[in-house]
Structure 1
């Protein structure tokens, strides 16, 4: 017969835990509409997104290759499909 493993953690044995991380995670999962970021964190993320977008645009401008959609040829295009 196998014996039960001894555990030091009482987290799963206790039914009411106030102020614990597991309780807060469960509450946060159950009430997503009551959550909001702190203004400092929101401002930090907004600045990060702005700088990331600016660096992305700069990188695109620097590394972009220009495609000539209309080549600058002096010869007029010949259309062979209208010869018939």
Structure 2
């Protein structure tokens, strides 16, 4: 029979939910359907993705175009 590890902390022994971080993490793990991101966070991330896509588009437009296979257009490989 294994012995339980001694702890000085009472956090594991408390059964009521107090709003502490550990309790919230446990509640979040037990109730994944009730956990959603805040509207502010989702709006911020959506805006960041739009900016990222715009920057990428601008980089692609300003970049130099490269002819990948200029010499064999429509020809069958030998």
Partners of 2:20 and 2:13 lie apart in 1 by 14
Partners of 2:7 and 2:68 lie apart in 1 by 73
Q: Equivalent residue for 1:53?
A: 53
Q: Structure 2: any 5+ residue segments left out of the alignment? A: none
Q: Which has the larger radius of gyration?
A: 1
The offset of 1:64, in angstroms, is 4.9
Root-mean-square deviation (CA), in Å?
3.0
Q: Equivalent residue for 2:30?
A: 30
Aligned residues: 70
Which of structure 1's runs of 4+ aligned residues deviate more than 6 A? Answer: none
Partners of 1:54 and 1:28 lie apart in 2 by 35
Residues 11-26 of structure 1 correspond to what in structure 2 (within 5 A)? Answer: 11-26=11-26
Partners of 1:19 and 1:68 lie apart in 2 by 60
